[in-house]
Structures are given as C-alpha cells and as structure tokens.
Copies of this chain bind each other. A is one copy, B any other.
C-alpha cells in the first residue's frame, strides 16, 4: 500500500506549481468560514498590505453619491469593513452579526484594489468584475432553493442556434427538467432574460436559476418546464470567452442593445426552441421574464407579441429608458398595452426593490396599469438593483406559471 500512497503524492507534485502551493505553501487560510453562531469570518493573506477591506451584499448598504455626465445620483452601495492583520500576514474580519441565510457576492480591497478571495473556488463574473460567492443556506429559508440537494436534476445545455438577423450562430443556455429525456410529454417554456452587461450565463451563475428550478420542481411547487436563457446582446455570438472574437473583456454597452433588434429577432429563438424541443407551442404555455434590461425586453416582447407570451415577469425592469424614435418596437405604447390586455394575458408580474433607482419608474408604470384597470401582480422588496432581489423574484414567479 505504501507504493500507492507515495505514487499518488508524486502525482500531486507533478501538477502545476500553483496547485502545489494550495496544498503545501504558506499558512492554511480558511475563508470564508460560517461560524457556529452564524457569524462569518473572512481572511486574506497580504503580508505587506497597509489596508485590507471586505465589501459585499452581506453587509448593510451605504449611500454613495456619483456624478456622471453632470448628473448627481445617489445609490445604495454595499458596505465596507476593515480586516485586522494577524500572524503570517493573514488579515481577518468576523461579522458582528449572524449573516442571514442567502447567497452573497463579496470581494476584498487590498490598498484600494479589488481582489477576489483566492481561497474560495466559487467565483462568479459580474459583467467585467470577478466576485467571490458565499452561500448560507438553511432549511425552510428561501436560500435553501439556491443550494444543490439530492433531488432529480435537470439537464443544463449550451446550445447554438442560427440567427438570420445576426448573420451568425448564437448561444443559448437551455434547462430541460428531470425526466424530460425519458418522457414523451410536451413541456411549457419559460424564457429568462439577463440585464445590461450580462449574457446567457448570468442567470445560471449569479441567478442560481437551474438550482431554483430543480428544487421547486422536486417540491412540487413548480410545473416541470423547459427554461431558455437567451443572450440579449444581438451583436454577440455568446458570452465573453465563448465567442469567436477571442477573450475580450466584457463591457456594459454593446452595440445594438435596447434599440429593438433583439426584440424584433426574438421569434427566431422561439421557432428554434419549438422545433428542437418537445414544447407546448402556444401562448398559455409560454412565459418570459427578465431583470433590468431583460425586464425592459420582457415588457416590449409582451407588448409586441401579444399572441406569443401568456405569462410575463418584469424584475427591476428598466422601464422608461427608451427613446421611441429608435425602433417601431418602442412606439405606440398605450395602444399596444391595450391590445396586450385585450388578448387576455394569464399574468403580468412586476417586482422591484424600494431603494432601486428604477423604483419610481416602476411605480409610475404600476399607476398607469391601475388607472386603466389592467390586472397585474406587484411585489415590493427591500433593497436595490441587485441579484439578491432577482433570485427572490424568480422563486416567486416560477411557481405561478402554467397553472
């Protein structure tokens, strides 16, 4: 048996220097650690640093004023806490409160420069930044839906479709529920759209959407459904690093975003999905939802294709940002809204945080619907324009569908 053990050690040695370092190098740094009392300890090794901070949405927010293009805007930014240096240049901070069960993003700031936690392998990309992830799940809490459980798992696929509008193949993430492959049944379809700077990966990484679907379906709280995560940047084949332009770092504003082309081309995607998968290809079995820009897309997809989608979910939707002159998609709003309601949608669901910079725009839209006697569901949450809210909205919206 000794021969086996030595040889396996040799295998380890054969790996890259960085892998070895993680095994043997330096002091053992555990971070993040959820303590027995519910507090969380963060650690970062930086022997020569003068100041190390941690920031993330597990901390209470703080008001920040930003000037941009002559406009002063106030928004809620994640709080910041200083770490204290200990032995071996390992800095440490423990929250003075139990961290509520939820999924959080955090980063360190080392002398003002943002760094992920090198001892936490769970890293998400948020547009052009990397963040470390902390998940505090608890039975009975919503965050338990974000964890992986021993329940039947759906299949998550990266699938390419040919877009005549774009002139090239484009990538989708497609979730088929557990049992799809061995069943002959047809399934309803939910289309889920990301925000500005996002792509077809965002809802899966940041949104935990496939875990939420697995868990809700396993509990019997959602109908088994196909879920399609689109890429809303029509000028892009796929997420950064997954397209033929090479690994260009992502930017917020891509060409042809929020100018109508994506919405105009959307039926291409629906046609592809209905031909590739066993779908119930009718309005009552087709839903669309999205966050921020994706909520904006959801609104205009719903208004422009009243016969396509029976169920719509606008999450912190970027309402009121459009110039009607850029595309016919955005014109004749009131007439389209009337036509949409005349076609009897099953559900228009709206969720927004009450400190979101889009809160007032969503309230204005709510009032317009009320003034016209149009039916809708409205959910107000704490907090702003963050993934924590979008995950909440998805867990609320999905159980309502296809009933």
- A residues within 8 Å of B by Cβ? 1, 3-23, 25-26, 45-51, 55, 57, 64, 66, 68-69, 71, 73, 75, 77-78, 89, 105, 107, 110-116, 118-123, 125-131, 133, 135, 137, 147-150, 152-153, 155-160, 168-169, 171, 178, 181, 195-197, 237-238, 240-244, 246-247, 249-250, 252-253, 258, 276, 292-293, 318, 320-323, 325-326, 356-358, 384-387
In the bound complex, CA of A322 to CA of B152 (Å): 35
In the bound complex, CA of A246 to CA of B320 (Å): 41
Instruction: Name the residue on B nearest A322 (C-beta).
Output: B4
Interface centre among A114, A119, A123, A171 (most CB of B within 10 A): A114
Are the CB atoms of B252 and A12 closer together than 8 Å?
yes
* Contacts A3-B321, A11-B385 known; 14 new A-B pairs at CB < 8 A: A10-B73, A10-B357, A11-B195, A11-B252, A13-B75, A16-B78, A16-B386, A18-B107, A22-B114, A25-B114, A48-B51, A120-B249, A148-B242, A155-B159
- In the complex, how many angstroms separate the beta carbon of A197 from the nearest chain B beta carbon? 7
Residues of B within 8 A of A321 (CB): 3-4, 7-8, 10-11
In the bound complex, CA of A156 to CA of B172 (Å): 11
Are the CB atoms of B18 and A131 closer together than 8 Å?
yes
Residues of B within 8 A of A47 (CB): 111-113
Are the CB atoms of A111 and B48 closer together than 8 Å?
yes
- In the complex, how many angstroms separate the beta carbon of A264 from the nearest chain B beta carbon? 17
